[in-house]
Structure 1
Amino acid sequence: MSRRETLRVETSQPKARLDKFLQEHFPETSRGTFQRLIENGDVQVDGEQTKATHHPRAGEAITIEWPEPIAAEALPEDIPLEIIFEDDHLLVVNKSAGLVVHPAAGHATGTLVNALLHHCGDQLSGLTGIGGVARPGIVHRLDKDTSGCIVVAKNDPAHLALSAQFADRTTTKIYHALVYGQPSKTKYTVKEPLARHPVHRKKIAITPNGREAHTDFRVLEKLNHSALMEATLHTGRTHQIRVHLQHLGCPVVGDAVYGGRPARAFTQATGYTAPRQMLHAFSLGFDHPASGKRLTLEAPLPEDFSKTMDFLQVR
């Protein structure tokens, strides 16, 4: 069962935004974890859902619904991994499309976490379970059908330091996306707020009262009834790139959720059906948690992405 815990904000406690306030109260839990709990509605203030930017006031009751842990710890599985960078503190993986990041309902095995446990062995023993027993070392996520760069911590100090960088938005995240249609401009900035769809809860929608979301887009190459675009994330909301591209009228090629009419027009014009959503986390930049040195890692495009681009070349 999930566990509920309630805090009462005291008058003597310093002012801070909600996610930072909770992380200071529960130092063993990362700020990024609290941001996810808040976004999912598992943190309430005086019985109401709120945002991570809320500043708790004296007398308010903050209720945390801690998620139910996976009954058993994830087990090592010999799943091939493409390692981009690795040392004693962290590793960066080029995640393949179709690979779920961590065990969850419907995906108890065959995940990135299972592969990491096999690859790293005892190197993950320095983690005390900050991310939960099913998420050892996981700092951020990629959708199942999104490929590319993902960083994993090997110990608690690295996990906390990396999580703080994601929470403070000091990381650099650049994606490549194949999109339906050919955008009329070469550059776009989208700052439409995002929230759970009021009816279809697995979807994200643009809504005036949603959470801040900011993506910059740049057209890299125009293709047949499509284009290759670069997306730079300044926030990290669920489905952010996919929904912002839908808003521009050029959703991600192969996106079964947000493709809509442009997807149907594309298939009719080209006769091509993509094997998955063509979204790839191309580059990830962050400060090394031990040395402080800035690292920028790039993940080469996977074969299915390159083949789709080849098919769509203007001839």
Structure 2
Amino acid sequence: MPEERIFHLIVEPEAAGERLDVFLSGKIPELTRSRVKKLLACGLVEIPGVKKLKASRPVRAGEEITVRVPPPERIRLEPEEVPFEILYEDRDLAVIVKPPGVVVHPGAGHAGGTLVHGLLRRLSGLSGIGGELRPGIVHRLDKDTSGLMVVAKNDRAHLALTAMFKGRAVEKWYLALVHGVPEPRAGKINAPIGRHPVHRKRMMAGAPRGREAETFYRVREAFRRAALLEVRPYTGRTHQIRVHLSHIGHPIVGDPLYGGRRPQGPKAERQMLHAWRLAFEHPVTGEKLSFEAPPPPDFEKLLEELRACGK
């Protein structure tokens, strides 16, 4: 049976002033900031002499922090038949293609029919580090974003993949259909991303307390009122590509949250964003792996319609 793991950390001078949740998630790759908050709520994070710890508390140089991470909860989800394609599978991981409209893991309003339910049905084993509701999930795609994902089948692979994502060692490319044609036709977007101060479901570029975010884009194909972009996010902030492209005035077609539904220009029922290419070193064997997946039918159909209208 998995056992509780205990981490003893000392805050270096250069880390002084960081939020506690940011510091811990940076030092322990398997922990997200939301998981740190849960550990704090359960009293599993301790700093000598400090009685009440908050996620937002700045850490101080020299402080000793003890973190107790309980063993993964037993998975109690029932497998279901959920559509997705398996491109690659071995004893450590699987690379799959998520269709649009599928939520990655259970949450509020999504008790069934998620990608996790389908993974439990079709894969022989999943890592438990993500907890009861997120077995095998190393990274996520929004519900209406399609494309490539890597899934961990054991804890060793999960920890290694998580560290690779945090260390920016995973190459991710997306295809995005946007309103208008960006100028210049290739460039980097550097704008910190944080929660919108009023609309809590939205993220915002240039937020006062936003986290560093960098996205590269280049125009693959230009149309009269739209463009097909190849996009590579160097960081992994929530809604990063959607926020950054909207920030430069070229929101993704069909994106209701960030201005992608306009009376002029192409229209779509969901955001036209597809995780097209994924490349990384195998976390166990070190083999270089690279995968590509074409966009789904609705994306391809809209592209054909735009091409038929001329450029």
CA RMSD in angstroms comes to 3.4
Match of 1:158 in 2: 157
How far apart are the structure 1 equivalents of 2:155 and 2:186?
A: 39
Show structure 1 runs of 4+ deviating over 4 A.
Answer: 7-10, 16-21, 35-40, 42-51, 59-64, 69-72
* 1:86 is the counterpart of 2:89: yes
Instruction: Check conservation: 2:80, 2:121, Cα contact below 8 A.
Output: yes
Identical residues among aligned pairs (%):
47
How far apart are the structure 1 equivalents of 2:225 and 2:233?
A: 25
Report how many aligned residue pairs link the two structures. Answer: 289
Instruction: Check conservation: 2:21, 2:37, Cα contact below 8 A.
Output: no
Match of 2:200 in 1: 201
User: In structure 1, which of residues 285, 293, 305 is the aligned counterpart of residue 299 of structure 2?
Assistant: 305
The change in CA–CA distance for 1:70 and 1:181 in structure 2 (over 3 A counts) is farther
2:32 alignment partner, SS class: helix
**1:214 offset after TM fit, Å?**
0.4
Q: Which amino acid aligns with 1:309?
A: L
* 1:108 is the counterpart of 2:111: yes
The runs of 5 or more residues in structure 1 that have no matched partner are 1-6
Match of 1:31 in 2: 29
- What aligned pairs does 1:154-193 form with structure 2 within 5 A after superposition? 154-193=153-192
Cα deviation digits, residues 25-62 of structure 1 (max 9, x gap): 8xxxx62533454699x7999756549xx765334779
TM-score, normalising length: structure 1: 0.81
1:215 alignment partner, SS class: strand
1:309 alignment partner, SS class: helix
* 1:57 is the counterpart of 2:61: yes
1:33 alignment partner, SS class: coil
**1:63 offset after TM fit, Å?**
9.3
Instruction: Check conservation: 2:75, 2:131, Cα contact below 8 A.
Output: no
How far apart are the structure 1 equivalents of 2:299 and 2:239?
A: 19
How far apart are the structure 2 equivalents of 1:235 and 1:156?
A: 23
Match of 2:282 in 1: 288
**1:209 offset after TM fit, Å?**
2.5
Q: Which amino acid aligns with 2:179?
A: Y
The runs of 5 or more residues in structure 2 that have no matched partner are 1-5
The change in CA–CA distance for 1:289 and 1:176 in structure 2 (over 3 A counts) is same
**1:208 offset after TM fit, Å?**
3.5
**1:198 offset after TM fit, Å?**
0.9
**1:86 offset after TM fit, Å?**
1.1
TM-score, normalising length: structure 2: 0.81
